[in-house]
Structure 1
């Protein structure tokens, strides 16, 4: 039986899409627009230039570039050749980038002018096997070499090698196949529906899973990707109000800033989905969206699942406020603890499986064996399902605070702190305590021009939380520690206290 009969092989996506809907708009970046036909033409030219550098099927090609039409073109050109995409986070330090270049075995690295010095510093930091590096402009000057590229693709082939944020230890290279991306896009379409007029806003980085997945959906579903160079709340709101954006992918802090900028205005009825990911959403934020009629679809996913794997369906978005929804078709989910599957309402580790789940980590067989067992991915996240099977995400397992035998989820305490009108961001972590084992300590960043007394925040928490969940101390800080993916680093919160907050309680 052929691969085609097995359903694992199909025509190259960009060529197929350009043949189906050649004049439909594929991407909008500022004043620049490209139809699928024209995008395919420019991608083929870029692919031939990469081929002239010796890039072929299976080779790793890294890129260190911000959002833009050039990045969209490069991503598709790498895929057109059947090479493997290695997105690099532009917020990383040179040594961090160097490690990923070496670990992935990247053959070529493409940078833009703004990141040329960062790319060069990363190459110099490589101990061995530094890739050839070119700027986007230099790539445009390269001679083209005729190539058919990868005319047919197998869903089993590796498409992307994307490194996790590395909140603990070295980042791991998540291996994502063409099939992972295919099933992720298909599952999303089955949940949200397809509309030829859809425009999906990508104000999140294309080097992140959330941004890259939008480009994959654009090709597979034939929708327009509206790519912003960086997130700006006013520009994002204008894209929805004036430019016809119907779907947007955001995280909590982005949504909060968009609502603040929106003020008393409302989004048009044509805007049908605010896809909210990036961790447990504070309930006050969801309540605020409900009052303003913002169609928030809370979702749960990660790099290992090629974007979302659980999403709240439209008909349940208000009835199940705070839930991440149910597993998308055809994925599965269960909650485990104490070596057994837990009953509804019991909190434990979230475990998922499905065709969009990674097959493992590059050159990390130990990590793969630990995370993937009998086809199930053990996420390290904590949550529970209710009697109807809806998932509620609580927190990262490693961030759990156990105080006097009771579980304290930092995200829950942070949500209460953020609900105070003077607080912009909050972080909570556990400190050792001789009586309780651990106690929660909070750090808050006030909104610009505002300040709030610790006693006021403690009173605010006591009115909304069980006694054991109330922080023993609340510190006001100028910034919270974040990693290169802009995620809160709770393990670094003690560093904000003089002396590092070491020792028994006493912070």
Structure 2
């Protein structure tokens, strides 16, 4: 058992700012009071402790109040991705067997017809409260959140994340980064995603401030990075590149107060990391997934130059090994063990064990070097096999994004009668360049069989709610 996070934090630092959003601010005491109000109104609507509910909302303070209200009720929260189609939402709502959906009013039309009751936020707000006394302690094994995987193959899986999973992740992260005075996380990723939700957990557990953005606003974000009003941030490759471009355009550097920029969601192109160093950004590449409640390993800033491209070593309570590898640099599937690993799934995958012999099989390919640093090569499901040769899309993407006129790149395998598959590339440009020049550039840096058969210039690449590249959807750009 551990203390109720919200009550404990409100008792320890009641007057400390918890959340800032568009010029408004709320203390931890105010967050607790608003959360208790939400919980009492949910009870009045018939939501009971430990019920499973879905939440469908944008990243504003209102979703935080609702999440914290559900925490007081110890509800299992299914956080629905705003980018999903009605069909995809219907699957998750049915599969998770929620008793109700709590939805932001402006998003009601995007929800599918459902067998369960839908409560708009305004309905919850207008409901008279019913007396409710929250539990002062939580069971670490209780499910806190359920998030669905992006579904690279087959049906998405509803991943259970327990109170203990989130505590383990936040604690391991703290051991790695430490705290400074007036620490503040800038959150410009969706709270329905593990990256955003883990930031909220860290703020509650560590007692630091959350600077919340509904969407990625590069100009305002760079303003805060330069003036030092935030100290930490999480990014993926595409958002890191946009921040770098804006800093370069202004010829500015981030404040000395800024501590860490965690980069996850897949390998970050080496060229981006080099540009970040020039702008005084301490980028720490991380590796994690929905099944691990965010981070499993992180590269410390002191190793950023020495181990560029690495996702670092496991955080304190975590373990990593490479399946089948007997010596350094041997590639294989990344296996993970630790208190942050999900105990299992819900719905159609409830019977599927999340671990084999105590280890989570990630589905990612990587290796450990001679010092035990993890390098993530690629998703196993994205692997291209051409004429018997393994081709990792990330390697080709790294080359393409190092070209001065290329902003973003995505690579996937296209069926080929002779070779089985051949790599095709899709690029978003900074400046005009023809594809022949890009092919020639690839030939200078890659083995012949890795050079893209075709390169397509596109306006944008397909991404999910956390801006992670969806390679499986690249083919749709040419169909």
Same fold, TM-score > 0.5, yes or no: yes
CA distance in 2, matches of 1:240, 1:81: 37
From 157, 161, 165, the counterpart of 2:142: 157
From 244, 253, 267, the counterpart of 1:266: 253
From 345, 368, 386, the counterpart of 1:361: 345
CA distance in 1, matches of 2:176, 2:459: 40
Q: Secondary structure at the match of 1:368?
A: coil
- Cα RMSD over matched residues? 1.6
Q: Unpaired segments of 5 or more residues in structure 1?
A: 1-8, 501-507
CA distance in 2, matches of 1:233, 1:274: 15
Q: Which residue of 2 aligns with 1:94?
A: 86
Q: Which residue of 2 aligns with 1:175?
A: 160
- Check if 1:439 corresponds to 2:422: yes
Q: Give yes or no for contact 2:226–2:252 (8 Å, CA) kept in 1.
A: no
Q: Which residue of 1 aligns with 2:475?
A: 494
| 1:275-290 aligned within 5 A | 275-290=262-277
Which stretch shows the higher mean deviation, 311-320 or 376-385? 311-320
Q: Give yes or no for contact 1:202–1:214 (8 Å, CA) kept in 2.
A: yes
From 197, 201, 210, the counterpart of 2:195: 210
- Check if 1:132 corresponds to 2:117: yes
Q: Secondary structure at the match of 1:91?
A: coil
From 382, 398, 420, the counterpart of 1:399: 382
CA distance in 2, matches of 1:90, 1:81: 24
CA distance in 2, matches of 1:423, 1:287: 15
Task: Compute the displacement of 1:243 (Å).
Answer: 5.8
Which stretch shows the higher mean deviation, 165-174 or 360-369? 360-369
Residues 1:367 and 1:452: Cα distance change in structure 2 (over 3 Å): farther
From 15, 37, 43, the counterpart of 1:23: 15
Q: Which residue of 2 aligns with 1:194?
A: 179
CA distance in 1, matches of 2:358, 2:172: 19
CA distance in 2, matches of 1:135, 1:238: 35
Q: Unpaired segments of 5 or more residues in structure 2?
A: none
Task: Compute the displacement of 1:428 (Å).
Answer: 1.1
Q: Give yes or no for contact 1:196–1:223 (8 Å, CA) kept in 2.
A: no
CA distance in 1, matches of 2:35, 2:389: 56
Which stretch shows the higher mean deviation, 29-38 or 465-474? 465-474
CA distance in 1, matches of 2:239, 2:333: 27
Residues 1:485 and 1:152: Cα distance change in structure 2 (over 3 Å): same
Q: Which residue of 1 aligns with 2:236?
A: 251
- Check if 1:472 corresponds to 2:457: no
Q: Secondary structure at the match of 1:415?
A: helix
From 169, 184, 203, the counterpart of 1:184: 169
Q: Deviations over 1:460-507 (max 9, x none)?
A: 11122222211122122233333454433323323333xx4xxxxxxx
Which stretch shows the higher mean deviation, 40-49 or 488-497? 488-497
- Check if 1:423 corresponds to 2:420: no
Task: Compute the displacement of 1:366 (Å).
Answer: 7.3
Q: Deviations over 1:292-324 (max 9, x none)?
A: 221000000011000011101232122111100
CA distance in 2, matches of 1:282, 1:213: 24
- Check if 1:33 corresponds to 2:35: no
CA distance in 1, matches of 2:288, 2:237: 14
- Check if 1:42 corresponds to 2:44: no
Q: Give yes or no for contact 1:251–1:276 (8 Å, CA) kept in 2.
A: yes
Q: Secondary structure at the match of 2:37?
A: helix
Task: Compute the displacement of 1:150 (Å).
Answer: 2.8
Task: Compute the displacement of 1:437 (Å).
Answer: 3.3
Task: Compute the displacement of 1:365 (Å).
Answer: 4.7
| TM-score of the pair, normalised by structure 2 | 0.96
Q: Which residue of 2 aligns with 1:459?
A: 440
CA distance in 1, matches of 2:300, 2:473: 36
Q: Which residue of 2 aligns with 1:6?
A: none
